[in-house]
Structure 1
Amino acid sequence: MIPIIFGVLVAIIGGYWWTQVRTKHVSRQTLSLNDTILEKNFAYYRQLTPDKKQIFNLRVATFLQEKEFISRGKLEITEEMKILIAACAVQLTFGLSPVYLSHFNTIILYPDKYYSLLNRDYHVGEVNAGGIIVLSWKHFVEGYFYPTDALNVGLHEMAHALLLENRQYGEDFLAPEHVQEFFLQAKVEYRKIQSGEESVLRKYAGTNVAELFAVAVETFFENPTEMLSEAPLLYNSMADLLNQDPLHRQVAA
């Protein structure tokens, strides 16, 4: 009996020790992020309160621990690039309980647009259901360099990954009632696009339901004023879905 009890205690203490080590490791990473890369290059982060920045940092560090970054086309992947891509994913999910898109453990970066064998065309980003997110670094940077054009390949592809993981793997990051309400409102814009009417969403949103969601995410973060003005029910449904309001700079994380 004593050896069994001793073994259990060792396991508990060992687990606690490893948790503390891992937490301290993540904390050291977050300290290196606070006033450098994110503060300098990520506007969303700069608008957070100090306590929210600490949470954001922790989520970025955890996201990075779970991902493998692979270069294509002789692109040198730097720590800054990894952090900014992780920050993009955290931006999208920051109002939710911690989401790290765990099914997607590989991120492939190309220097520019690339030829995809999936549909034999050039892409700037895609999400593979096998667990891969692919991005053109040039277009990722442009997405944040032009912050009000509702074109952001990083947010677009992370939105695909979030929706796919939530649907296909039953993670329920997104409350079912909010998903239902969002698509009820989004289909109003979808029908407008299909009939050739003006919509707050660009025409690509009319491709299918997945693109409808991804384009709505881009518009929500990059052109919230127009979205709220032209489609208030759509804006409010996405604010409920993601649990944040970029127009009023409110994040519920």
Structure 2
Amino acid sequence: MLGPRFFIFISEVLRQVWILAFHYRLSQEDKETLEKYFPYYSNLKPAHQKEFRHKLQLILTQKRFFARGGLDRVSAEMKVLIGATIVQVTFGYRNVWLKHFNKILIYPNTYFSNISKTYHRGEVNPRHGIIVLSWECFVRGLALDHDGVNLGIHEIAHALKLENQIQYNGESNFFNPKLWQKYSELAAQEKELLKQGEDDFFRERGAVDLHEFFAVALENFFERPDEFKSRKPELYQVLVMLLQQDPLTLRAV
């Protein structure tokens, strides 16, 4: 009887064939979009920029984008900037692509959920492999890149944490268990400080639960690394090791 490993292997072979046949190529306009609107990329050393572009092409080959809520179409700029956010969060892992989350839905602004009966800026649906984003909120997060609030990073962080736990797609368990345990201990302490109003570095959303804290922590890790390292050195260093990248040392200057 064929086991799950066989089907994972076949799925990976088919994925590689698809990538070879339909490989996305960044245009000059795409590269200019990165330079102009994506600070993480524009601040990288040249060698790392090349790695970034290579991974971005692979990400864009594998993801499907859908316009929702009255959005006319998904532009190349939307694909590049959202794909770049996936690359940013996963940059330390050469072979992590968030394969499970292959569909990205884009709304023009906040959207109403018939399930929660509230308006959303973004969400992640692991059951259907979907990431949902409000384009207006996504762009605001990019424009204000030092406030520790970034919708794209927030939702991709949720997807990253879930991807690590999904066992059947051949891309799980990439987080070092000991590092994750250490991170979890520190995160629980920080969440409690935040909940009790004893610390103001992270925004209040991080006090909801440990899932939200991880997403908020990554927003600050990428947008405010200097202050993060200064204010929370132990937590910052654990995230550096967990994510296998340090935004401070990746900078060109």
Normalised-by-shorter TM-score class: 0.7 to 0.9
The 4+ residue runs of structure 1 with deviation greater than 6 A are none
Q: Report how far residue 97 of structure 1 moved.
A: 2.6
Give the conservation status (yes or no) of the 8 Å contact 2:101–2:159: yes
Q: Report how far residue 33 of structure 1 moved.
A: 6.5
Offset from partner CA, 1:84-121 (integer Å, 9 cap, x none): 10000100010113211111111000000011123111
Give the conservation status (yes or no) of the 8 Å contact 1:239–1:245: yes
Structure 2: gaps spanning 5 or more residues = 1-12
Offset from partner CA, 1:148-190 (integer Å, 9 cap, x none): 1100000000000010110233712222122112112111211
Tell me which residue corresponds to 2:36. 40
Counterpart amino acid of 2:151?
A: V
- Asked whether 1:110 is paired with 2:107, we answer yes
- Asked whether 1:99 is paired with 2:96, we answer yes
Q: Report how far residue 25 of structure 1 moved.
A: 6.2
Aligned ranges for residues 124-203 of structure 1 at < 5 Å?
A: 124-130=121-127, 131-169=129-167, 171-203=172-204
More RCO (CA 8 Å, sep 6+) = 2
Q: 1:199 to 1:180 in 2, by over 3 A?
A: farther
Aligned partner of residue 99 in structure 1, secondary structure:
coil
Give the conservation status (yes or no) of the 8 Å contact 1:160–1:210: yes
Counterpart amino acid of 1:195?
A: Q
- Asked whether 1:59 is paired with 2:20, we answer no
Q: Report how far residue 31 of structure 1 moved.
A: 5.8
Structure 1 CA distance, aligned partners of 2:122 and 2:181?
27
Identity rate, percent: 40
Counterpart amino acid of 1:218?
A: E
Aligned partner of residue 126 in structure 1, secondary structure:
strand
Counterpart amino acid of 2:217?
A: A
Structure 2 CA distance, aligned partners of 1:199 and 1:172?
32
Q: 1:177 to 1:53 in 2, by over 3 A?
A: same
**Does 30-39 or 237-246 show the bigger shift?**
30-39
Q: Report how far residue 137 of structure 1 moved.
A: 0.2
In the alignment of these two chains, the number of paired residues is: 233
Offset from partner CA, 1:135-155 (integer Å, 9 cap, x none): 000000000100011000000
Which residue, 42, 46, 50 being the options, matches 1:50? 46
**Does 198-207 or 106-115 show the bigger shift?**
198-207
Tell me which residue corresponds to 1:12. none
Structure 1: gaps spanning 5 or more residues = 1-14
Structure 1 CA distance, aligned partners of 2:141 and 2:118?
21
Which residue, 76, 89, 97 being the options, matches 1:79? 76
Q: Report how far residue 209 of structure 1 moved.
A: 1.2
Aligned partner of residue 29 in structure 1, secondary structure:
coil
Q: 1:105 to 1:25 in 2, by over 3 A?
A: closer
Structure 2 CA distance, aligned partners of 1:44 and 1:208?
27
Give the conservation status (yes or no) of the 8 Å contact 1:185–1:237: no
Offset from partner CA, 1:35-68 (integer Å, 9 cap, x none): 4221222111112222222221121111111111
Tell me which residue corresponds to 2:248. 247
Structure 1 CA distance, aligned partners of 2:107 and 2:30?
27
Structure 2 CA distance, aligned partners of 1:24 and 1:54?
22
